Every structure is written in structure tokens, then in C-alpha cells.
């Protein structure tokens, strides 16, 4: 995960919503992309919660949102949806690790 995550997540939502309004993305595609962007925000929140409890959440396994944003900027929407789906799968293991860290004594 890089330092551009929060900025990229906001840009992803903005670009996906604009494409949806122009009829370039379906509702389900924009939902998939936005859920992916929300996942990055959730990871950062969980990492902060872990840090506050003296635990750590390794963020080096979190994919960067930059590629997804670039697909949207280039209006390569099929690649953007595929990328969002792949990222969401990767984030699931990070969410599980964070939840385990937070439950551990």
C-alpha cells in the first residue's frame, strides 16, 4: 500500500460515478468498483485500530489502488472492473488478518 491510497480511493469513486452518469458503467460495475475503493478505506481504519491497541497489521500485502484508478482514467472499464474484483479478493485476507489481530489478547 502506498501513500496515495486515500487520494486514489476518492478519485476512483469520483471517476466511477462520472462514468456511470455518462452511461459507460452499469450500476453493478460501479458498485463493484466503489466497494473496492471502500475496502482501501476500511484497511486503513483497521490498521489504525490495530496500531492503537499495540498490534500491527502488515500493509505490505495490500495492493495499490493506483492501477485501478489508471484504468478508470483511460476509460478502460472492463479492466477496471476486473482489477476491482481481484483487489477485493486480496483485501479479504487482509480483513481477516486484522480481525484476528484485534481479537487476540
Question: Band of the pLDDT at 4, cuts 50, 70, 90?
Answer: low
* Alpha-carbon gap, residue 16 to 59, rounded angstroms: 25
The pTM of this model reads 0.85
Neighbours of 42 (CB within 10 A): 15
Q: What is the pLDDT of residues 46-100, one digit of tens each?
A: 888 888 988 888 788 788 888 999 999 999 999 999 999 999 999 998 888 888 8
* Alpha-carbon gap, residue 34 to 14, rounded angstroms: 9
Amino acid at each position: 500500500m502506498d501513500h496515495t491510497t486515500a487520494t486514489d480511493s476518492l478519485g476512483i469513486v469520483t471517476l466511477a460515478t462520472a462514468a456511470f452518469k455518462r452511461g459507460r458503467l452499469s450500476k453493478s460495475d460501479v458498485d463493484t468498483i466503489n466497494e473496492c475503493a471502500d475496502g482501501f478505506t476500511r484497511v486503513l481504519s483497521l490498521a489504525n485500530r490495530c496500531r492503537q491497541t499495540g498490534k500491527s497489521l502488515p500493509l505490505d500485502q495490500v495492493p495499490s489502488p493506483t492501477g485501478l484508478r489508471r484504468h478508470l482514467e483511460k476509460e478502460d472499464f472492463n479492466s477496471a472492473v476486473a482489477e476491482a474484483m481481484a483487489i477485493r479478493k486480496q483485501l479479504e485476507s487482509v480483513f481477516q488478518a486484522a480481525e484476528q489481530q484485534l481479537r487476540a489478547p
